[in-house]
């Protein structure tokens, strides 16, 4: 089994910063990539940023130059982080961690989601 545990959401004023982290653990044999999606109120979930195991990154146009995604490995945990700077009210959403992985149990690629963390940008 695989677990994704998110942390770092909260309330911040416009122009402020937040850092989200997501730790993936469990029966992971390899990671193809990890990323962050968000779902604003009343809207569909959208990609914010993603990163491959090789370090290639992809960002939504709305966050380019403000958000930075990174990935690290420490012992049995793979952690993807999202540094969010110059936050705007329109960044308000529930942010979800995503992992594209292979496990020791199945030969197929599998997709896992975190439980979601609320980010609210408001004065």
Q: For residue 10, what is the enclosing H or E element?
A: strand 10-12
Distances from the Cα of 113 to the Cα of 4, 99, 117, angstroms:
7, 7, 12
Maximum CA pair distance of the chain? 48
- Report pLDDT for 105: 87
- Report pLDDT for 47: 98
- Report pLDDT for 22: 97
Q: Tell me the torsion sign for CA atoms 106, 79, 51, 37.
A: positive
Dist CA 21 CA 93 (whole Å): 16
Q: Per-residue pLDDT for the chain (123 aa), expressed as one digit of tens each? A: 899 999 999 999 999 999 999 999 999 989 999 999 999 999 999 999 999 988 999 999 999 999 999 999 887 789 999 999 999 999 999 999 999 999 988 889 999 999 999 999 999
Q: Tell me the torsion sign for CA atoms 17, 23, 24, 30.
A: positive
């Amino acid at each position: 089994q695989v677990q994704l545990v998110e942390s770092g959401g909260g309330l911040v004023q416009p122009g402020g910063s937040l850092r989200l982290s997501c730790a993936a653990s469990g029966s992971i044999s390899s990671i193809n990539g990890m990323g962050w999606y968000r779902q604003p109120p009343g809207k569909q979930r959208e990609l914010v940023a993603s990163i491959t195991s090789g370090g290639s990154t992809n960002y939504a146009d709305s966050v380019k130059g403000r958000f930075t995604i990174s990935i690290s490995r420490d012992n049995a945990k793979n952690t993807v982080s999202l540094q969010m700077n110059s936050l705007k009210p329109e960044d308000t959403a529930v942010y979800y961690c995503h992992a594209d992985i292979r496990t020791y149990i199945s030969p197929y690629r599998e997709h896992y989601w975190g439980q979601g963390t609320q980010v609210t940008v408001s004065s």
